[in-house]
Structure 1
Amino acid sequence: MFIFELNKPGSRLHHEDENISWKFERLLNHLETAFYDANVALNLFISEREKDSGYSDRIQWDTDFQKRQILEAEVRMEFGLHPLEGFDKVRVEVDARLKRDKWSQGEIPLSHQQRLIFLHAKSFLGALDTIDKFLKVISEENGAPQNIKRLHIQISNEFPHLRGVRNSAQHLEDRARGLGAGKVPKPINLQPINNNHVVAPQGVLMLSNILGTKLGYTMADGNYGEVDISAESMLKVTKIIQDVFNSFIWKGSPQHLPR
């Protein structure tokens, strides 16, 4: 498990105007929460990636095979079917009963299990997007330290595809139809892809892919964009948020985060 740390220089912001202090404290609190969200999402993502279910799957297959034989006999008797009759009807009913029994014992459907890693990846993406948006808001507020504008630019430099990937994730209904951005989206002009996993000189529509530790989408401009869900990304985020905290004048006792 990775826990990323911050040092808040004080307990309150120091400003001659209390309303301005209160305004920035609220915004910084939201930024801090998004930082925690990113850290939690990263650990959940890593946990899903590290799961090795190969051995348990083999044991489960043997157990399921035996249960299917028993259930098939029960279903055929209930339906009044001979061994060579109603194969599809029996198979569907046996599958349904076997799965319901597993679910009643707390087993998660395979279709749900396979989505967990994507949910954690998108949570990380969403947390980074929230951090980006709050940095923008803070940088534009009256009384904000000038350094915040630079830090907002820095997050764009560190994660150049963040907004494009975020937009495709949020507008999947358009990207899935090969459409770009705008009120009247136009067809995407797909651009060549050549990375460690995919080589497509003519371009290809790729949506919600996890390749290694990277969540990727074809963006509105036709290029394939990725955001790395990794400790390296969290280190970049940590440094930026620490610099944001350090850009303000504080009073009161310093705090070590997370609590």
Structure 2
Amino acid sequence: MGSSGLSRVARDASRPSNPRHRLAPLLNKMDKFNFDSLRIFDLTFPGHWLEGEDRNQAFQIAHVLQMIQDLFIEAVSSCALLRPLTSENIREYLERTETHKETPYERCLNAVYAKAFIFALDGIEKLMCRLVTNYSAPEKVKHLHEEYQKLFGHLKHMRDSAIHIEDRGRGKTRKQQPLKTHIVALGCFIERRCVFTGEDGKQYEIEISESTLKQVKSIIQAVINSYPWLEESKIIF
């Protein structure tokens, strides 16, 4: 075999294998998950179209509501895939860690799901704010937005710390001032509760659970129902 043939073999050997093959075990696990069990979190839209003479505004409002639904679906899926460390599975976890059966790629998944959950619920608040400030929302929607802020307004601090982890990890604010704390949590878990230290030095947490999702769903559904809809009831996927 000539030098060109050898170099071609070396190139082929250095190429990574099909990434789909490498991810097959993870994809198989997800295939086995019963996503139909999440249908309890489906949101119901009372109709296909919003009423209103300003059709452009009606379309924009419906689009924002659809984006809220999309983010909620992300939060539900993230919560379902989370595998928290509990008193029941701690022994199994330690055994898998000590025997190197669990790779760093598996260990990081809970952090991925937690951030997706936090970002989704925080994004929902921002979209509700858009409804209130940009589209003359019904008075009830304003009250629902305030209720959502009381429950989940602290998520903005958690999201900011997740985004600016290069600063928080060094104990700094975005303006490079020292944090007013010596304890910095960056996505720490206490079973299903995820904890982040905010820029103000305070600790913020969210429970990634069905209970939290039920609170979120209740508010979102009430927001959807606050608008006048045309046509028959239908679930939009």
1:157 aligns with 2:150: yes
Which residue of structure 2 aligns with residue 208 of structure 1?
187
Which residue of structure 1 aligns with residue 231 of structure 2?
252
Bigger Cα Rg: 1
Which residue of structure 2 aligns with residue 130 of structure 1?
123
Shift of 1:206: 1.7
Shift of 1:136: 0.9
Q: Mapping of 1:69-80 within 5 angstroms?
A: none
Q: Mapping of 1:1-259 within 5 angstroms?
A: 1-2=37-38, 3-45=40-82, 47=83, 54=92, 110-181=103-174, 184-190=175-181, 203-256=182-235, 259=237
Shift of 1:178: 0.9
| 1:214 aligned partner, one-letter code | R
Partners of 2:170 and 2:145 lie apart in 1 by 32
Partners of 2:126 and 2:85 lie apart in 1 by 29
Aligned-CA RMSD value: 2.6
**For the structure 1 residues 225 and 244, does the alpha-carbon distance in structure 2 shift closer, same or farther, using more than 3 Å as the test?**
same
Partners of 2:43 and 2:214 lie apart in 1 by 11
| 1:254 aligned partner, one-letter code | S
Alignment length (residue pairs):
197
Partners of 1:142 and 1:206 lie apart in 2 by 38
Partners of 2:85 and 2:170 lie apart in 1 by 30
Partners of 2:106 and 2:209 lie apart in 1 by 21
| 2:58 aligned partner, one-letter code | S
Q: Normalised by the size of structure 1, how large is the TM-score?
A: 0.69
Partners of 2:190 and 2:153 lie apart in 1 by 18
Which residue of structure 2 aligns with residue 199 of structure 1?
none
Partners of 2:178 and 2:46 lie apart in 1 by 50
Q: Give the SS at the match of 2:205.
A: strand
Question: What residue ranges of structure 1 are gaps of 5+ in the alignment?
Answer: 65-106, 191-202
**For the structure 1 residues 26 and 151, does the alpha-carbon distance in structure 2 shift closer, same or farther, using more than 3 Å as the test?**
same
Shift of 1:208: 1.5
Q: Give the SS at the match of 1:254.
A: coil
Shift of 1:48: 5.8
Partners of 1:18 and 1:160 lie apart in 2 by 32
Between 1 and 2, higher relative CO (CA 8 Å, sep ≥ 6) is seen in: 1
Partners of 1:253 and 1:10 lie apart in 2 by 5
Q: Give the SS at the match of 1:208.
A: strand
Question: What residue ranges of structure 2 are gaps of 5+ in the alignment?
Answer: 1-36
- Residue deviations 1:59-95 (CA, integer Å, cap 9, x gap): x95xx9xxxxxxxxxxxxxxxxxxxxxxxxxxxxxxx
Partners of 2:228 and 2:134 lie apart in 1 by 16
Shift of 1:143: 3.2
| 2:133 aligned partner, one-letter code | E
Following TM superposition, the consecutive aligned residue runs of length 4 or more in structure 1 with deviations greater than 2 angstroms are 47-55, 146-149
- Aligned-residue identity in percent: 29
Shift of 1:160: 4.3
CA contact (8 A) 2:43 2:221 kept: yes
Shift of 1:247: 1.1
Partners of 1:177 and 1:141 lie apart in 2 by 38
